[in-house]
DNA sequence: AAGTCGGTGGGGAAAAGTGGGGAGAAATCC
DNA sequence: GGATTTCTCCCCACTTTTCCCCACCGACTT
């Protein structure tokens, strides 16, 4: 896992609180758009995230994910369950002329997104959250930032 | 088993709740149709799925399955039982001019499909579920998505 | 002060989903 | 064996959704 296309692209950074219009469209911040590889063809594969949010993988990054998913066995119950649960939510979305994407309705329902969306840069992907949901997520965190760093990054 | 046609095709994605008309026809979502290889010739081999659903394999993918099944020993009791149970349900269906297929009655009976069908992209195949059956399947899952991912994809 | 870039909103053309009718083939019944 | 019925497949028509294009507004830059 982990694994950004070697060297090439810079990680997605930043946050933005944008509006979702009546057609389910959200603008992608310009600096995040500019961080896309040309091979991504202005396209993301969007799917259900971990925790209650939506993941956006640039097309080139997503093809790596598919290689990993494709290596799973059809005959293993848990692998089957995982494949179903990641692929059923997945969809390809392409930026329109205004730099927006249309979020599939199943995903906005899942993530509880209505008229406002919080867009986060998360290294190899973008995340889209309902603002209130994200704040709640932060508040529920049992571990503070400094401690997390120690545990995850090691000493 | 793993093994998508190397490089070539993208996995099937997405979900759709479509109606089954009085003639037993179901539309296949356009994005899934477009993910078909030309060698699939707009044809699926449909068979009994794992869990209570119907599997649709594109013709080209199915020929790989047949190679795997063909490699099983006739002299092994369990292999024999498995071969019978997968092949007895199998049938070929082709898209009509409107992008629909007609589901064989034995399979709709098996999966409990009546007037509504849930169509899922599941990487190398499509799955068709009765909506209520699928919801029940999800509710019965002992493991949540995040945990599944950890177990299946590793840390 | 004008121009450019970034985010927001809406309308119209094209595609996708749904339903029904009719020709041909297969199965059935006399 | 022939006629009738049933089933399947193909085609046509309608409705809804999606996608693409155009226009606006504000902020920052030159």
Residue pLDDT, tens place only, B11-60: 999 999 999 998 999 999 999 999 999 999 999 999 999 999 999 999 99
Per-residue pLDDT at B10: 86
3-class DSSP state of A125: strand
Q: What is the mean pLDDT of residues A58-79?
A: 96
Is A109 part of the contact surface with chain B (CB cutoff 8 Å)?
no
The radius of gyration of chain B from alpha carbons, rounded to an integer in Å, stands at: 16
Q: Is the CB of A21 under 7 A from strand C?
A: yes
At B61 the pLDDT is 95
**Residue–nucleotide distance: A30 CA to C2 C1' (Å):** 23
Q: Is A73 on the interface with B (CB under 8 A)?
A: yes
Q: Please name the nucleotide lying closest to B19, CA to C1'.
A: C18
Comparing alpha-carbon positions, the chain A residue that sits nearest to B148 is A82
- Give the closest-approach CA distance of A140 to chain B in angstroms: 17
Q: Which residue has the higher pLDDT, B154 or A4?
A: B154
Closest amino acid to nucleotide D19 (CA–C1'): A96
> Residue B2's pLDDT band (boundaries 50, 70, 90)?
very low
DSSP B120: E
Output the pLDDT for position B155.
Answer: 73
pLDDT score at A95: 96
The pLDDT value given to residue B154: 86
Listed as own residue / partner, the contacts of A54-60 with beta carbons closer than 8 Å and 24 or more positions apart are A54/A103, A54/A107, A54/A108, A54/A110, A54/A111, A54/A113, A54/A127, A54/A128, A54/A129, A55/A125, A55/A126, A55/A127, A56/A93, A56/A101, A56/A125, A56/A126, A56/A127, A56/A128, A57/A124, A57/A125, A58/A9, A58/A125, A59/A92, A60/A5
Query: B123 vs A87: CB contact, 8 Å cut-off?
Result: yes
Distance from C-alpha of A46 to C-alpha of B146, rounded to nearest angstrom:
17
Q: Residue B8: is its pLDDT beyond 70? A: no
Instruction: Give me the pLDDT at residue A155, please.
Output: 77
Residue A80 pairs in a beta bridge with none
Q: Which positions in strand C are less than 7 Å from the protein's CB atoms?
A: 5-11, 15-21
CA of B31: nearest nucleotide by C1' is C16
The CA-based diameter of chain B, rounded to the nearest angstrom, is: 48
Residue B7 clears pLDDT 60, i.e. is over it? no
Angle between helices B77-87 and B59-70 (to 10 degrees): 160
Sheet holding A54-58, edge to edge: A15-19, A116-122, A125-129, A54-58, A43-48, A91-94
What pLDDT digit, counting tens, does each position of B80-119 carry?
999 999 999 999 999 999 999 999 999 999 999 999 999 9
Average model confidence (pLDDT) across chain B: 92
CA of B105: nucleotide with nearest C1': D7
> In terms of CA atoms, which chain B residue is nearest residue A50?
B146
* Band of residue A8 on the pLDDT scale cut at 50, 70, 90: low
Share of chain B above pLDDT 90, in %: 88
Q: What's CA A28's distance to the chain center, in Å?
A: 12
pLDDT of residue A154: 87
Give the model confidence (pLDDT) of A95-137 as tens digits.
Answer: 999 999 999 999 999 999 999 999 999 999 999 999 999 999 9
Question: pLDDT at residue A1 above 60?
Answer: no
The pLDDT of residue A124 is 95
Shortest CA distance from A51: residue in chain B: B146
Instruction: Please list the alpha-helical segments (H only) found in chain A.
Output: 30-34, 59-70, 77-87, 105-111, 131-140, 145-153
pTM tops 0.85, yes or no: yes
Please judge whether A90 and B121 are an interchain contact, meaning their C-beta atoms are less than 8 angstroms apart: yes
């Amino acid at each position: 896992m982990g694994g950004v296309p070697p060297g090439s692209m810079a990680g997605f950074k930043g946050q933005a609180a944008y509006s979702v219009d009546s057609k389910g469209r959200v603008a992608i911040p310009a600096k995040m758009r500019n961080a896309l590889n040309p091979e991504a063809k202005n396209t993301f594969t969007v799917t259900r995230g971990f925790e209650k949010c939506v993941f956006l993988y640039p097309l080139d990054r997503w093809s790596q994910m598919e290689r990993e998913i494709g290596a799973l066995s059809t005959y293993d119950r848990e692998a089957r369950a995982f494949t179903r649960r990641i692929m059923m939510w997945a969809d390809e979305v392409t930026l329109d002329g205004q730099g927006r994407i249309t979020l599939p309705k199943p995903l906005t329902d899942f993530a509880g997104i209505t008229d406002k969306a919080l867009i986060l840069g998360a290294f190899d992907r973008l995340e889209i959250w309902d603002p209130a949901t994200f704040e709640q997520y932060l508040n529920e965190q049992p571990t503070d930032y400094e401690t997390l760093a120690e545990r995850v990054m090691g000493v």
